[in-house]
Amino acid sequence: MPELPEVETVRRHLAERVEGDVIREVEVRLPRIVRHPAPVLFADRLRGQRIQRVDRRGKYLLFRLDTVLLVSHLRMEGRYEVAHPSEPELPHTHVVFQLASGRQLRYADVRQFGTMDAVVEGEPLPNGLAELGPEPFDPALDGAALHERLRHRRAPIKSLLLDQRQMAGLGNIYVDEALFAAGIHPLTPAGAVSRRQCDVLLREIRDVLARAIREGGSSVRSFRDGYGRHGGFQIQLAVYGRAGQPCVRCGQPIQKIKVAGRGTHVCPACQPVVSGMPVGTGVHA
C-alpha cells in the first residue's frame, strides 16, 4: 500500500499537471470505486468543477474543487495518470475524468480496492479521513505530545504507529525503518517508550519520510508516480525486506517477525528486547 511518501509524490505530480484545469465529464466504469454519492450523482457533482488544489492528508489525496472535495484513497495499487485521449490506457482503468484542457485524468487499480468520495459542504468526511491523527510533520506534534499518546498504551509500539488515529500516513515500510533508526524493538509496549525515546523516534520518523519523499517513494512492489516512474528509496532501506541479510550497523542478520499480523523487520542487536514484551512472535529469517 502506498504510504505517506508515495502519496505525497503522486500529489506533487498531479498538482503540477491538473491544478487549474476543469473537469468536463466523468466516466465511472467500476461503480464500487465510488463510495459517495452514487456514481451518477458523483459525476454530476464533479462536472464543471475546477481543480483548485491537490492536497494530501495521511494516505488520502484531496482534490479541492470549487464546491466539492474529492477524496481519493489509492489503497493497495491505485494509480493516476494524465494523458491525451489518443494515448493507450493503463490496464484496469476504472474512472476517467475528461478535462477542459483536452487531457484525461485516469484512475487505474488492478486490485480494485481504491475508493473515491465527492463531499460537499454540510456532509461528513469519509470514515477514516475524519479520524486521522496528526501529520508526522505537524509543528504542533513534538516528543511530549507523542509520549502522551503512547504512555498509557500496552500494545506494541509498531501497532500504535500503524494506527492512523495516532499518526497519519505511516505504514509497514517506514515504521520498520524509523524504529530501527531509533533503536526501538517493534514489540516494545508503547507505554514503555520513554519521553526521551519519543523525541528520538519522532525525529527518525520525520527523517526517513523526508528522505523517501526526496527519492520519490519506495517501489518495493508496484508503486509508480504520476509520470509512471518507480520510486528510488527502496535501495536505501535499512531493514525492511532484508530478512536474513546483515544489519547495516552491526552485521547481525535481520530477523522477520510478526507484529499484529504484519511482517516486521528488526535487528535483534540494534533493537534490543525490553521487559514486558510479548512472546511467541514467530521469529524467522
| Amino acid identity, position 116 | M
- Check residue 247 and report its DSSP letter: P
Provide the 8-state DSSP code for 174: H
Out of 11, 17, 45, 59, pick the active-site residue.
59
Q: Give residue 230's pLDDT.
A: 52
Q: What share of the chain is helix, strand, coil (3-state, %, to 5)?
A: 25, 25, 50
Per-residue b or e along 96-124, where b marks 16 or more CB atoms closer than 10 Å to that residue's CB? bbbbeeebbbbbbbeeeebbbbbbeeeee
Catalytic hit among 3, 8, 81, 177: 3
Region of 69 (left: φ > 0; alpha: ψ -120 to 50; beta: rest) is beta
Query: Which residue among 24, 47, 262, 268 is the active-site one?
Result: 262
| pLDDT per residue as tens digits for the range 127-164 | 999 999 999 999 999 999 999 999 999 999 999 999 99
Residue 79 has pLDDT above 60, yes or no: yes
Q: Which of 2, 5, 39, 156 is catalytic?
A: 2
User: Cα(first)–Cα(last) distance of the chain, in Å?
Assistant: 23
The three-class DSSP label of residue 191 is: helix
Planar angle of CA 48, 75, 258, nearest 5 degrees: 165
Whether 73 has a pLDDT exceeding 70, the answer reads yes
Confidence class of residue 215 from pLDDT cuts 50, 70 and 90?
A: confident
Cell 517506514 found at:
174
pLDDT of residue 223 exceeding 70: no
Mean pLDDT, range 104-116, rounded to an integer:
97
Indicate if the pLDDT at residue 285 is higher than 80.
Answer: no
> Do residues 222 and 235 lie in contact, with contact meaning Cβ atoms separated by under 8 Å?
no
Q: What is the grid cell recorded at 183?
A: 533503536
Q: Which CATH class is domain 4-120?
A: alpha beta
Report the mean per-residue pLDDT for the chain: 92
The three-class DSSP label of residue 10 is helix
**Mean pLDDT, residues 70-77 taken together:** 95
Q: What whole-number percentage of the chain has pLDDT above 70?
A: 91
Question: Cα–chain-centroid distance for residue 112?
Answer: 17
- To the query of whether residue 59 is one of the catalytic residues in this protein, the response is yes
Instruction: Give residue 18's pLDDT.
Output: 98
Say if 4-120 and 143-266 have the same CATH topology: no
pLDDT class for 276, splitting at 50, 70, 90?
low
The predicted pLDDT at position 2 comes to: 85
* Integer angstrom CA distances of residue 163 from 166, 183, 204: 6, 20, 18
Look at residue 235 in the predicted model and tell me its pLDDT: 79
Domain spans in the chain, listed from the N-terminal domain onward:
4-120, 143-266
| 256 a catalytic residue | no
2 in catalytic set: yes
Instruction: Please state which of the four CATH numbers 3.20.20.140, 1.10.8.50, 1.10.150.240, 1.10.760.10 is assigned to the domain occupying 143-266.
Output: 1.10.8.50
Residue 283 has a pLDDT of 47
The arithmetic mean of pLDDT across residues 248-276, rounded, is 93
What confidence score (pLDDT) does residue 227 get? Answer: 55
**Catalytic residue check, 124:** no
CA 197 to CA 199: how far, in whole Å?
5
